[in-house]
Amino acid sequence: MVIPIELRRTLGIDVKDALEIYVDGEKIILKKYEPACLFCGNADNVKHYCNRIICYECIKKLAED
């Protein structure tokens, strides 16, 4: 599938970047893939750990537990 370069530039998508695909009724939605925390869904300050994604906030909470 080819995505117009203007669109890629607007969304900051690189050639090999992963995209998420959703279906909404009869529409297909392509979304830039942003890894989000397994626990809270936060996409900021995330870290890959054992093939899972976790944010620093949740790491802190886990460490305090």
Q: Answer yes or no whether residue 37 interacts with Zn ion by CB under 5 A.
A: yes
Choose among 29, 32, 37, 39: nearest CA to 53. 37
Q: Answer yes or no whether residue 39 interacts with Zn ion by CB under 5 A.
A: yes
Report CA-CA distances (Å) from 22 to 19, 28, 29, 30, 34: 10, 6, 5, 6, 14
Candidates 21, 40, 43, 62; binder of Zn ion (CB under 5 A) is 40
**Which is closer to Zn ion, CB of 30 or CB of 36?**
36
Q: Answer yes or no whether residue 58 interacts with Zn ion by CB under 5 A.
A: yes
Query: Which residues bind to Zn ion, rule: CB under 5 A?
Result: 37, 39-40, 42, 55, 58
